[in-house]
Amino acid sequence: MGSEPIATIARIEMLRREAEVALDAAKGDAALTAWKGEWLGKGGRITSLLRSVGALDAADRPAFGAAVNAASRTLEAAYEAAASSRQADAMASALAAEAIDVTLPGTPPPRGRLHPSTIILRRMLDIFAEMGFQVFLSREVELDDVNFTLLNHPPHHPARDMQDTFYIAGTNEQVLLRTHTSPGQIRAMGAYAPDPIRIVLPGMVYRNEKITPRSEIQFTQVEGLAVGPHITMANLRGTIDGFVHRYYGPNRRTRFRTSYFPFTEPSAEVDVSCGLCDGAGCRLCKDAGWLEILGCGMVHPNVLANGGYDPAVVSGFAFGLGPMRAQMMAHGIDDIRHYWGNDVRFLEQFG
Ligand code: PHE
């Protein structure tokens, strides 16, 4: 009789070892859960040993029960250890997967840059600032009166057709997108009269034209305006030459050709000697030797009067130049549509 419990206790020991080997082999959460059910669950192989306790001698039962309980506790502890090391492993590998090596060089974020039209505008404004011209900003949505009439275009004057206009709907053609920066002359005179003026006025202008490689419906201009006593055409020439020599280089020459604008009298268009052939004629200047860069003239007495000045006391000059066209010539940009095409391969080449 005495040998049977010993054999039974030895069996408990064997089962416990088998369970331990199985636990070692159980990899992963599902395997661990299955192991727990198989060995320690309600009908588990260790737990159900207690059911055979009734077949034993009463004297042997306590030792047997204690042995089963001990095995059960041991396995329970082994299971807890395995489960928590499994959790620690999962945490460690998750951390490893998400690890950031702060010593690695970073990925630089793409850097923004100024738009080429802004770059050229600022460069020109810097030059004029150096020459004593202050920046004056005016509105892009203008009154027809200011864009045309006060600039000496009477209603139905054919010169209005020089610039095709976007009108703002519902305003009976009284409000429009400025077709040039010249209405800013009227705004500036209104702000400064009767004091002298020396300003540059940059910004976007709009023309209702067909978009082609050479013409856009929106582009920038820089207007210049000087008003005061004794301002002459020589001051205009000196200013234009000063700008050309700073912007294009000291060896470039200028040429004034008579022209017509309703708001200047006399009026001129200015050419600069071609930088590629120095006047000999080439592909860039289309064999002319010269490149047209701006329109200008002495402010018309009617315009001075409309601006609040007495044309008997002050005179003035004005000019308007197209920075984008100057930039296109300088960089050999052959299609103005690149400017608003938003292709970064174009935009990235500037600045
Ligand atoms: N406003 C004219 C244009 O857009 C240019 C200009 C400005 C001419 C000032 C004379 C004086 O063509």
Which residue, among 133, 214, 226, 224, has the nearest Cα to 180 in the 3D structure?
224
Q: Where are the domains of the chain?
A: 3-97, 116-347
Residues 4-60: tens digit of each pLDDT:
555 678 888 899 999 999 999 988 889 999 999 999 988 888 888 888 888 888 888
pLDDT score of 1 more than 90: no
Cα 186 to averaged position of ligand 1 atoms, centre (Å): 13
Residues 151-162: tens digit of each pLDDT:
999 878 776 776
Residue 182 token pair? 């010249």
Question: Does the beta carbon of 317 lie inside 6 Å of ligand 1?
Answer: no
Q: Average per-residue pLDDT in the chain?
A: 92
Q: Atom 6 of ligand 1 has which residue's CA nearest to it?
A: 320
Residue 14 token pair? 């064997």
Amino acid identity, position 320: G
CA distances from 36 to 5, 44, 79, 83, 312 (A): 26, 8, 7, 10, 108
Cα atoms in the 13 Å half-sphere on the side-chain side of 186: 22
pLDDT score of 122 more than 60: yes
User: What are residue 290's phi and psi, to 5 degrees?
Assistant: -135, 150
pLDDT score of 261 more than 50: yes
Residues 164-218: tens digit of each pLDDT:
899 999 999 899 999 999 999 999 999 999 999 999 999 999 999 999 999 999 9
> What string of DSSP letters covers 234-250?
HHHHHHHHHHHHHHT-T
Cα 296 to averaged position of ligand 1 atoms, centre (Å): 6
pLDDT recorded at residue 227 = 98
Q: Atom 10 of ligand 1 has which residue's CA nearest to it?
A: 296
pLDDT recorded at residue 303 = 98
pLDDT recorded at residue 3 = 41
Q: Taking residues 228-253, what's their average pLDDT?
A: 96
Q: Taking residues 145-156, what's their average pLDDT?
A: 91
Residues 49-84: tens digit of each pLDDT:
888 888 888 888 888 888 889 999 999 999 999 999
Residues 311-343: tens digit of each pLDDT:
999 999 999 999 999 999 888 899 999 999 999
Nearest ligand 1 atom to the CA of 225 is 9
pLDDT score of 289 more than 80: yes
Question: Does the beta carbon of 296 lie inside 6 Å of ligand 1?
Answer: yes
DSSP 341: S
pLDDT classification of 110: cutoffs 50, 70, 90: confident
pLDDT recorded at residue 155 = 78
Q: Comparing 268 with 283, which gets the higher pLDDT? A: 268
CA-to-CA distance for 326 and 291, rounded, in angstroms? 9
Cα 322 to averaged position of ligand 1 atoms, centre (Å): 10
Pocket test for ligand 1, best of 180, 204, 256 (most atoms within 8 A of CB): 180
Specify the CATH superfamily of domain 116-347: Bira Bifunctional Protein; Domain 2 (3.30.930.10)
Residue 2 token pair? 């005495």
Question: Does the beta carbon of 295 lie inside 6 Å of ligand 1?
Answer: yes
Residue 332 CA, chain-centre distance (Å), reads 25
Pocket test for ligand 1, best of 182, 220, 225, 258 (most atoms within 8 A of CB): 182
CA angle 155, 156, 162 (to 5 degrees): 105
Pocket test for ligand 1, best of 162, 261, 303 (most atoms within 8 A of CB): 261
Give SS3 for 204. Answer: strand
Q: Taking residues 86-109, what's their average pLDDT?
A: 89
Count the neighbouring beta carbons within 10 Å of the beta carbon of residue 178: 25
Cα 22 to averaged position of ligand 1 atoms, centre (Å): 93
Cα 286 to averaged position of ligand 1 atoms, centre (Å): 23
Are 303 and 263 a contacting pair, CB within 8 Å?
yes
pLDDT recorded at residue 292 = 94
Are 181 and 205 a contacting pair, CB within 8 Å?
yes
CA-to-CA distance for 39 and 49, rounded, in angstroms? 10
pLDDT recorded at residue 51 = 82
